[in-house]
């Protein structure tokens, strides 16, 4: 039987497994089945604890469609709490090796419990080649992007270890996010696809966003999306550098955008449950998918 834990950050939920507990590699089909909310455990993705020599802990992050993500702010907070709760982390501050780089996590411990985590998310870059994005030269700031349905949107693209495309709007519209999000995510300009945020500036230190997440679709909250949108707001002169509060349908996160474009994320996290996959489910899902 294969143990797992489930947690969420502002409604963005992930399942945590240890690679050592699995019979073999996770296939995209197995990931999709486990994350299925009707035929599996259900989740917005899987966090897989793996060995690493570059940091205190290693992490692979998978989207519910089976694709692999480079980085996730909510996922990192959930993983950090898991490491503390399960006794893997002996100190409140530690490093985690992700596909998008090594990050530092700090668990805020109160009465032995963790319900708030700070993550150093790395540095934002707007350079097209580093996102990556085809077409523009130099920084991708306020660039027109024609879409397949004939719509043209003005975008700012940024990478914080994973790609983001931000569209600033006067009014947030969930229907437009769901309609245009997949067109931008899979636009030919983004060879690795992209996360998409629609952002409205509410004040010099506050923005509101809706999220279409690469590989997951419409999402209540996202830590890396909050970082991408906050840095884009500062880069466009719409917000001031420093602490930017990002409001999403799932709640709020605080992002510190520093002058060197390094980013720190602060936000809540909650454990939901622990459990085990049954032998029957594991045989049908994991073992079959590994072959």
d(CA 16, CA 47): 5
Domains of the chain, residue spans: 2-116+270-290, 125-260
Strand 2-9 to 163-168 pairing: unpaired
Structure letter (DSSP) for residue 127: B
Length of the chain, in residues:
291
Give the position of tokens 């983001």. 164
User: What is the pLDDT at residue 54?
Assistant: 96
pTM, two decimal places:
0.93
Evaluate whether 2-116+270-290 and 125-260 have a shared fold: yes
Give me the CATH topology for the region 125-260. Diaminopimelate Epimerase; Chain A, domain 1 (3.10.310)
Cβ burial, residue 52 (10 Å; 0-12/13-18/19+): middle
Cα atoms found within 13 Å of the Cα of residue 259, Cβ hemisphere only: 0
Q: Which residues contact 12 (CB under 8 A, 6 or more apart)?
A: 44, 74, 75, 219, 220, 221, 222, 223, 250
- pLDDT for the residue numbered 90: 95
User: Given this model, what pLDDT does residue 289 score?
Assistant: 52
* Per-residue pLDDT at 156: 98
Asked if pLDDT for residue 288 goes beyond 60, the answer is no
Instruction: Report the pLDDT value the prediction gives residue 286, as an integer from 0 to 100.
Output: 74
| Residue 284 pLDDT grade (very low, low, confident, very high; cuts 50, 70, 90) | confident
Task: Work out the percent of the chain whose per-residue pLDDT is above 90.
Answer: 93
Class of CATH domain 2-116+270-290? alpha beta
Q: How confident is the model over 105-131, as a mean pLDDT?
A: 96
Predicted local distance difference test score (pLDDT) of residue 72: 96
Number of H helices, E strands in the chain: 6, 18
The pLDDT score that the predictor gives to residue 287 is: 62
Phi-psi region of 64 (alpha: psi -120 to 50; beta: other; left: phi over 0): alpha
- Helix (H/G/I), strand (E/B), else coil: 261: coil
Q: What is the per-residue pLDDT across 133-155, written as a single tens digit (0 to 9) for each?
A: 999 899 999 999 999 999 999 99
Please write the tens of the pLDDT for every residue from 179-217: 999 999 999 999 999 999 999 999 999 999 999 999 999
Note if the bond before 132 is cis, omega within 30 degrees. Answer: yes
Written as six digits, the tokens of 221 are 């909250």
pLDDT average, residue stretch 64-93: 97
Mean pLDDT, all residues of the chain: 96
Q: What is the pLDDT of residues 216-256, one digit of tens each?
A: 999 999 999 999 999 999 999 999 999 999 999 999 999 99
């Amino acid at each position: 039987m294969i143990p797992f834990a489930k947690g969420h950050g502002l409604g963005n939920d992930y399942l945590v497994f240890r690679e050592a507990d699995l019979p073999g590699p996770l296939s995209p089909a197995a990931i999709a089945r486990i994350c299925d909310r009707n035929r599996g455990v259900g989740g917005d993705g899987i966090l897989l604890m793996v060995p690493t020599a570059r940091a205190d802990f290693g992490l692979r992050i998978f989207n519910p469609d089976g694709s692999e993500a480079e980085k996730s702010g909510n996922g990192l907070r959930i993983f950090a709490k898991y490491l503390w709760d399960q006794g893997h982390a002996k100190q409140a501050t530690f490093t985690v090796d992700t596909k998008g780089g090594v990050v530092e996590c700090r668990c805020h411990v109160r009465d032995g419990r963790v319900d708030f985590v700070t993550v150093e998310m790395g540095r934002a870059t707007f350079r097209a080649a580093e996102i990556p994005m085809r077409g523009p030269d130099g920084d991708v700031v306020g660039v027109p992007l024609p879409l397949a349905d004939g719509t043209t949107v003005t975008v700012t693209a940024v990478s914080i270890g994973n790609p983001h495309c931000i569209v600033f709007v006067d009014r947030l519209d969930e229907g437009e996010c769901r309609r245009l999000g997949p067109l931008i995510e899979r636009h030919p300009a983004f060879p690795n696809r992209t996360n998409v945020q629609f952002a409205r500036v509410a004040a010099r230190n506050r923005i509101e966003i809706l999220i279409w997440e690469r590989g997951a679709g419409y999402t209540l909250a996202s830590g890396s999306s909050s970082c991408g949108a906050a840095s884009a707001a500062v880069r466009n002169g719409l917000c001031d550098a420093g602490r930017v509060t990002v409001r999403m349908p799932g709640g709020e996160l605080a992002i510190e955008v520093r002058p060197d474009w390094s980013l720190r994320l602060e936000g809540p996290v909650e454990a939901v449950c622990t459990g085990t996959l049954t032998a029957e489910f594991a045989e049908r899902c994991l073992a079959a998918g590994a072959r």
